[in-house]
Structure 1
């Protein structure tokens, strides 16, 4: 499986023949074999509003940390098929699906995935979840790394691990060197307090020589899942400098949404979910959605394939929703056209495609063939609304296309 997964990742990531960029792309590809996103960094609430999920819908998405797959299931679609090139993401998605099917109540499910730091999670795994896993997924979670089994991550603070978890740990280290304490931000009660905190404590960090030096290296953002090609798009938005773009997106994450309603900010600045009884959570972790999630978990599946490969095996006019995350930022023109040919073939009348871009502009015009794009209408209002409301704030824009067929 590892060799096959590596070949798929290389095909997706390796775009540049330049020696330096090519080496960085190969390094990024190797890193993606392991766990990158313990939590997905696209807001599933924004996704679900744009998709307008109906009971008969068949959706296909890129999984990442599978918060999207699990959240879409709470709306009761006919099916959600998730794909991902990372074997670790596949194992995480299958673990979540098995847990939704087998854990006895929301309290246990919340403890395992929202807390993800309690010793008794080991008992929940052994007693309820383990038997529902396929042998390959069970072997992944029970492998020793190097002494303790991987599943013990859910007893030791799962969200502090993976490439993103380690990146956020490094951010906290740099912030500490700058004398920053995030506790006042997490205690803020108004957007004005959040903005004042940013202006006083965070904005000056972007003038530190260490931050400016690190931001000049494309590999510095690998922890956010940003490959060299996407880094270059961000830099172009900043006039050749990625730092102004990063500054604005950190500002949006900190200041544009009430901190009590933004679990992405809690993950970034507390490295956990808000422990308060009414703390913000992804839809799949909310108590009111657990019954539906348990009932519909059988309708979810996740496989280690590219989205294009998956769609090539599906029937024409069979999908009502496509969720591409930011994968197109990684693609060259040939890959984009092959993907959109399959999306167009498998799209049912009225189907929606949603995706995000690292930059602020839509990347499809002028790159995807007109005979394909003519089947689709860009929903400018829904795109602008999604861009404004996406609490993760990490992307430049959210885009919605509707099939005209």
Structure 2
């Protein structure tokens, strides 16, 4: 398990995709948050893929819970708070009987006498590679004398900016932070592979420190905490207890019935996106969400993926993705005769980048099928 909550803003995605009831969507699942949030817009279908069996099990758990939990309150207790003792009973009663055998085996595997599903009684957002990385970052901050509680009490952007300038920015001048940040292995806990690390460093003229400082500043200072659940996850290690707007769409009460209805039209498979698309009909898909997966790909993999995207894309289809660096990675790497069938939407890309509350990426990119 890498992500129990992913770091791409689904509201930005949904605006760029302009999801309609007739749309058939394709996405990379990761921790499932965005997949679930897209379903609140009631598309005709959604095909989600992931190479991680753990992510697939988590996504299928969420899909089953959306359809089987009696109400929003208990659904939110399970995935929002994600630390209630009653969640174990709710899993056994409402979810487990409706899970596929592979996913059920994943969640019921025992270690030291405990079933894996019990992480939902302990605060699931503190688990997985990212959750543990954030925990380690909290430890480093405490060793540097930084307490995040005053940040979470800020009520204005000016107060958030002051906290960053006075408490967080100086951390980047300390030798422990510089030592750790300049080592690729240290950032792998954020899901940043070596190739993506190099793109980050390129934005800082070879030095990753100013890039990380600026992206943390955006996370802390660009949006009010009352609206930014990514900041709460980073500094509270969970969602805000009293800020209903600081939640992903799939956890918001007003979206629960739409989510419940659309969840039955979603399919999540443990495959590569390219292989999954190869079995889909031509011109059948209207929206593709690739997260930052292309940063991991070589030219051959990118070319194979875009051949399948172009083959399966309906007229006017949209592809969205993020990059660790600021520049678009496709020109010069995907064949011109394939990329030439698409138009890069500069305005939507820039608008989405400015609006992205997760703040950790260098670029948000939107392509439209000609």
| Common topology (TM > 0.5) | yes
Q: RMSD of the TM alignment (CA)?
A: 0.7
Q: Could you tell me how far apart the structure 2 residues matched to 1:45 and 1:178 are?
A: 34
1:232 aligns with 2:192: no
Aligned length: 370
The residue aligned with 2:36 is 70
Listed as ranges, the matches of 1:152-191 within 5 Å are: 152-191=118-157
Q: Write the distance in 2 (CA, Å) between the matches of 1:358 and 1:297.
A: 31
CA positional deviation for 1:296:
1.1
Shift of 1:144: 1.0
Q: Is this contact kept in 2: 1:322–1:354, CA < 8 A?
A: yes
Residue matched to 2:331: 365
The equivalent position to 1:302 in structure 2, one of 257, 268, 281, is 268
Normalised TM-score (structure 2): 0.99
In structure 2, the residue corresponding to 1:259 is in which secondary structure?
A: coil
Q: CA deviation at 1:279?
A: 4.7
Match of 2:160 among 178, 186, 194: 194
**Partners in 2 of 1:332 and 1:198 — Cα distance?**
37
Residue equivalent to 2:217: 251
Alpha-carbon distance in 2 for matches of 1:64, 1:187: 31
Are positions 1:41 and 2:18 aligned together? Answer: no
SS of equivalent to 2:114: coil
Does residue 118 in structure 1 map to residue 84 in structure 2? yes
Alpha-carbon shift at residue 277 of structure 1 (Å): 5.4
Q: Paired residue for 1:95, among 54, 57, 61?
A: 61
What does residue range 258-269 of structure 1 map to in structure 2 within 5 Å? Answer: 258-269=224-235
> After superposition, what is the alpha-carbon deviation per residue over 1:93-134, rounded to whole angstroms, capped at 9, x for unaligned?
000000001000000000000000110111111111111101
* CA deviation map 1:308-339 (0-9, x unaligned): 01111111000000111001111111111111
2:46 aligned counterpart, secondary structure: strand
Cα deviations by residue, 1:165-213 (Å, 9 ceiling, x for unpaired): 0000000000000110111111111111000000000000001100000
Question: TM-score, length-normalised on structure 1?
Answer: 0.91
CA distance in 1, matches of 2:83, 2:64: 19
Shift of 1:40: 1.0
CA distance in 2, matches of 1:278, 1:382: 27
Say whether residues 1:83 and 2:22 are aligned partners.
no
Which of the numbers 150, 158, 178 marks the counterpart of 1:212? Answer: 178
Residues 197-234 of structure 1: CA deviation (Å, up to 9, x unaligned)? 00000000001100000112101011100111111111
Aligned 8 A contact 2:83 2:121 in 1: yes
Shift of 1:384: 0.1
Contact map agreement 1:273 1:279 (CA 8 A) in 2: no
Which ranges in structure 2 are unaligned for 5 or more consecutive residues? none
SS of the counterpart of 2:30?
Answer: coil
Deviations 1:220-260 (A, max 9, x none): 01110011111111111111111111111100000000011
Q: Secondary structure at the match of 2:25?
A: strand
Q: Match of 1:400? A: 366
Q: Deviations over 1:151-176 (max 9, x none)?
A: 00000010000000000000000000
Q: Distance in 1 between matches of 2:305 and 2:94?
A: 39
Match of 1:104, SS state, is coil
Give distance in 1, aligned partners of 2:165 and 2:4: 30
Query: Could you tell me whether the CA contact under 8 Å between 2:226 and 2:243 is conserved in 1?
Result: no
